[in-house]
Amino acid sequence: MKKLLALVTASVMALSMVACGGSTSTSTATSTASTASTSTGSSEEQVTLNWAVWDLESTAYWKAMADGYMASHPNVTIEMTDLGSTDYMTQLATQLAGGNGELDVLTIKDIPGYSNLINLEMLVPMNDILERDTADFGGVIEQLTAEDGNFYGVPFRSDFWVLYYNKDIFDAAGVEYPTNDMTFDEFDALIREVSEASGVYGNFYHTWRSDVTLFGILDGQNTIIDGNYDFLAPYYETVLAEQKDGVVGDYGEQKTSALHYSAAFENGQTAMCNMGSWFIATLQAYNADAEANGVEPVNFGIVKYPHPEGVEAGTTLGTVTSLGINPYSENQEAAADFINWCVSDEGAAAIAATGTFPAVSNSEINSIIAATEGFPTDEASVEALNTVAVYLEMPLSDKAAEIETVLNTWHDAIMTYACTVEEGIANMNSEVQALLAE
């Protein structure tokens, strides 16, 4: 019971940094059994895997992965239990309570939840299970490795941040497009130039802390879990100066009005928007339905994320969605085989075909993404899909949820002028250091 209470409490505190959205429906089980039987293994014992997911009806890659696997494994039926997106980790905690083995494959939504499951011994170590070379995950596996040397989740989906821009606004303003190698200072200059020339915001920083501060982790030297946040000062100072000069939106007004980044960009209120790769599919869908909805499509492009001076272009921040195995499952071998398929080239291609970025990427996978309907056709946008390093927005820490709460509190205070940058960072330092000392 103590473990359950701890997991539920921590899960409620955990703030997912990925734009998940979608359903908040109660748990339901949905079978997507395939009728295909075109591969070997048809004589094997029949197995049913129960896979914990969220937003089943509105998320294309769940079914694509299940159907793709079952097409070559006719002895396996995959049933998905939809726990909803809003309180997914809390619902998962409830499902796993008391050593319940009903769920076989566990989708891990965020790093705080991942850390909690490890601490409560509710995940199977994957070191000897993963068949794919860990190097193929671009350093993410190392960031998911716990202090005991084990990693307990295998990422199948990876979202990384890029810079979106409205080509029509830049063209009308006579300003050159952003490039795939742009420092943060150059980004600041471009924000000011295009705003002054166009009369709209140069960039839209959403109200997430990551939008403003996480340029600072791209040097690979700084993290947001070590209790020292002095490195954030230049980024706060730059964005607050942009805000004061009116070339970006006011944080407080955006929070009050609940203006979403997608609406601001789609409506032409901003020339640029730094955001995760998930926004590509949103814009593709918006443009596909634009005529029917009586709106103008957005002529957009993307480039690689702006980076600090001295950091290689293509370095960015990101989030991952991982798969793990319930240690109380009676189908651990079959669950392991499914997870290995999901991160194989075949599985990655099935995920990419839905417009979603798999955790394992290469030129062929990027070509699948770039070929999806509505993806920008210019070479710079295609090149923007190539990354050299992806740093997790929230690294693995058993204090992740508590740290997140502290940082968000003082971020809000800094951005609304309730305190100075110096005061806010000092409070971040002292409060997180106190947490780490517990």
Model confidence pLDDT, tens digit, residues 234-284: 999 999 999 999 999 999 999 999 889 999 999 999 999 999 999 998 999
**Which DSSP string do the residues of 194-251 spell out, in sequence order?**
HHHHHSSBSB---SSHHHHHGGGGTTSS--SSSS--GGGHHHHHHHHHHHHTTSB--H
Written as one letter, the residue type at 262 is: S
**Which DSSP string do the residues of 111-152 spell out, in sequence order?**
HHHHHHHHHTT-S---TTT--S-GGGGTTHHHHTB-TTS-B-
H or E stretch including 5? helix 2-13
Please give the average per-residue pLDDT across 89-107, as a whole number.
92
CA distances from 363 to 277, 300, 368, 383 (A): 16, 22, 9, 10
Higher-confidence position of 369 and 58: 369
pLDDT over 50 (residue 14) = no
Please give the average per-residue pLDDT across 341-365, as a whole number.
92
pLDDT over 70 (residue 149) = yes
131, 336 contact by CB (below 8 A): no
Q: Look at phi and psi of residue 110 and say left if phi exceeds 0, alpha if psi is from -120 to 50, else beta.
A: beta
**Which DSSP string do the residues of 262-327 spell out, in sequence order?**
HHHHHTTSBSEEEEETHHHHHHHHHHHTHHHHT-PPP-EEEEEPPB-TTSPTTEEEEEEEEEEE-T
DSSP code of 98? Answer: G
The tens digit of pLDDT for each residue in 355-405 reads: 899 999 788 889 999 999 999 999 999 999 999 999 999 889 988 889 999
Q: Which residue has the tokens 């850390």?
A: 115
> What 3-state class would DSSP assign to 360?
coil
pLDDT of residue 93: 83
pLDDT of residue 204: 98
pLDDT over 60 (residue 44) = yes
Higher-confidence position of 129 and 43: 129
Buried b (16+ CB within 10 A) or exposed e, 243-273: beeebbbebeebeeeebebbebbbeebbbbb
pLDDT of residue 58: 83
- Given pLDDT bands bounded at 50, 70 and 90, which one contains residue 293? very high
Buried b (16+ CB within 10 A) or exposed e, 138-157: bebbebbebeeeebbbbbbb
Average pLDDT across the chain, whole number: 89
Determine whether 424 is exposed, middle or buried from the number of CB atoms within 10 Å of its CB (0-12, 13-18, 19+): buried
- What 132-141 contacts at long range (C-beta under 8 Å, 24+ apart), as own/partner pairs, is 132/340, 132/343, 132/344, 132/360, 136/360, 137/359, 137/360, 138/361, 138/387, 138/389, 138/390, 139/389, 139/390, 140/320, 140/359, 140/390, 140/392
Please give the average per-residue pLDDT across 227-235, as a whole number.
97
The tens digit of pLDDT for each residue in 17-36 reads: 333 333 333 333 343 333 33
Q: Which residue has the tokens 């609940």?
A: 258
Q: Would you state the structure tokens that stand for residue 433, as one six-digit string?
A: 């250091």
pLDDT over 90 (residue 174) = yes
Please give the average per-residue pLDDT across 138-148, as a whole number.
92
The CA distance from 256 to 264, in Å, is 15
Residue 254: phi and psi, rounded to 5, are -65, -40
What is the model's pTM?
0.82
pLDDT of residue 369: 93
Of residues 172, 179, 382, 186, the one with CA closest to residue 271:
172
